[in-house]
Amino acid sequence: MPDAATSVLLDVRERRVAMARIRVGEFVERLLATPIDRELYAELREFLDQEAVQACAAWEELRARGPRYQQRRLLALLRLSGVHR
């Protein structure tokens, strides 16, 4: 999960994409551990119908900003988190 300092600085689209990626990772882990699970399938369907659709739209908007913008944002976030000086 994004740390507190970084998540405050993420815009709505960045946060939506980040949270969706985290949820997808959780679903993958659960599917690997228990591939046959009705409850898990229901949760996954709900995620795909709601959050994933919004995350895809946010991702498309972020990609439209271009690679230079994305690189600058990533460097700024890394600096704020102390990973990159």
Per-residue pLDDT of the chain (85 residues; tens, 9 = 90+): 445 444 558 899 999 999 999 999 999 999 999 999 999 999 999 999 999 999 999 999 999 999 999 999 888 888 887 776 6
The C-alpha angle with vertex 40 and arms to 29 and 46, in degrees rounded to 5, equals: 110
In Å, how far are 6, 40, 62 from 3, measured between CA atoms? Answer: 6, 27, 20
Counted domains in the chain: 1
Q: Which two tokens stand for residue 5?
A: 């300092």
Q: Which domain holds residue 31?
A: 4-81
Which positions ≥6 away from 32 have C-beta within 8 Å? none
pTM above 0.85, yes or no: no
